[in-house]
Amino acid sequence: MLRTILWKNDKVAMIDQTKLPGTLEYVEYDDYKGVADAIKRLVIRGAPAIGVAAAFGMVLASRQSSATTLKDLLRDLDAARTYLRATRPTAVNLVWALNKIYDTAKMSTDAQTARDVIFKEAISMAENDIITNKTMGRNGSVLFGDGDTIMTHCNAGALATVGYGTALGVIRAAAEDGKSVQVIATETRPIQQGSRLTAFELMHDGIDVSLISDTAVGYSMANGLIDKVVVGADRILSTGHVYNKIGTYQVATMARQHNIPFYVAAPLSTFDMDSEPQDVVIEMRRSAEVSGPPENRTAPEGVNVLNPAFDMTPPELISGIITEAGVATAPYVESIKKLFKANF
């Protein structure tokens, strides 16, 4: 299984996902601004993975700071938190991880202890990510049967987390339980996380995968090629509204049209229990991602482009939300509250 991010020789090492599927190589950072740049450029992406990257960014910031008092260190960490938070607005794991690290530092007695404890916290956040994904996998595996063909959108696999994955973690767990499962991955325009990352990751791990264009979702469902759908999430509200890669809403709507169960798999750190749909900022990305780079245009020069990176799937289209604490089902307000109560 691929390990997306790790701490190595006082640096953060991460797979450079901009080079996949052609080249599998790690890039290292010893500067928190470098980590922020990596998050922005999608060297590392996927909600849980960018949370852990940001946490390691805070560790680097604590080591880059020359502060000798806790007060001065907290000032520098707060500046790093603001800088790292500005990279991507939609995935809530980023803010969750930054606040967790900052709050841990704040509870320390002095600057050196703070540096030590946030380092330990970031390491345990990374290790717990894998444990959480495996637990989620166990909880979700029962929803999938022997012989199922499962559609997924974007990449919610090992490459979107520290390892194992959320949606692909559930598929991995079903395969580990001895079920023969096949995956149909959408290519996920415009950045192609499905073709570049999901197809690569599943082939790397020996799981049967076929790639389709995003426009073949309806065809695949209408022709009985899909038994179930499972996707990840960047943010889930207390009401069960799910924000995930652009196109997820179309897949969910099409699944409802064909009576195909549509599941979401995400850790509790992806839940935003305080926001309403109108508070969630959808990241808008560069037009060249859609119209092509200047040397290889796929649209006329100067065309106006809209490039939202995420969309919202309403709770009524979701058959269940798989978490490490159990599976939430409608009515989501009650079932999500119950999962949080049981876990904290």
Q: How far is the CB of 5 from ligand MRU (least distance, A)?
A: 13
Indicate the residue type of 136. M
Binding residue (CB under 6 A) for ligand MRU from 6, 45, 54, 230? 45
Is there binding between residue 245 and ligand MRU (CB under 6 A)?
A: yes
Alpha-carbon 54 to chain mean position: 13
Tokens of 333: 């307000």
CA-to-CA distance for 229 and 325, rounded, in angstroms?
20
Q: How far is the CB of 75 from ligand MRU (least distance, A)?
A: 30
β-pairing, 5-8 vs 11-15, is antiparallel
Binding residue (CB under 6 A) for ligand MRU from 87, 139, 141, 166? 166
Alpha-carbon 264 to chain mean position: 12
Is there binding between residue 154 and ligand MRU (CB under 6 A)?
A: yes
Is there binding between residue 47 and ligand MRU (CB under 6 A)?
A: yes
Binding residue (CB under 6 A) for ligand MRU from 156, 173, 217, 318? 156
CA-to-CA distance for 35 and 46, rounded, in angstroms?
14
Active-site residue, from 234, 274, 279, 311: 234
In the β-sheet with 320-323, what is the strand arrangement from edge to edge?
209-212, 182-186, 149-152, 228-231, 262-265, 320-323, 326-328
Binding residue (CB under 6 A) for ligand MRU from 48, 57, 315, 320? 48
# of chain residues touching ligand MRU (CB under 6 A): 17
CA dihedral (174, 176, 177, 180) in degrees, to 10, reads 60
Closest CB to ligand MRU among residues 222, 284: 284
Is there binding between residue 160 and ligand MRU (CB under 6 A)?
A: yes
Binding residue (CB under 6 A) for ligand MRU from 161, 186, 198, 291? 161
Q: Which of residues 201-240 bind ligand MRU (CB under 6 A)?
A: 232-234
CA-to-CA distance for 194 and 228, rounded, in angstroms?
17
In the β-sheet with 11-15, what is the strand arrangement from edge to edge?
5-8, 11-15, 26-29
The residue at minimum Cβ distance from ligand MRU is: 232
Q: How far is the CB of 72 from ligand MRU (least distance, A)?
A: 34
Q: Which of residues 293-322 bind ligand MRU (CB under 6 A)?
A: 309
Annotation marks residue 234 as catalytic: yes
Which stretch in 46-54, 78-86, 173-181, 204-212 sits in contact with ligand MRU by CB under 6 A? Answer: 46-54
Rg (CA), the chain: 20
Closest CB to ligand MRU among residues 91, 328: 91
Among all chains, which residue has been given the structure tokens 């090629």?
225
- The residue among 262, 252, 254, 257 whose CA lies nearest residue 228 is 262
Q: Which residues are identified as catalytic?
A: 234
Q: Which residues bind ligand MRU (CB under 6 A)?
A: 45-48, 91, 154, 156, 160-161, 166, 193, 232-234, 244-245, 309
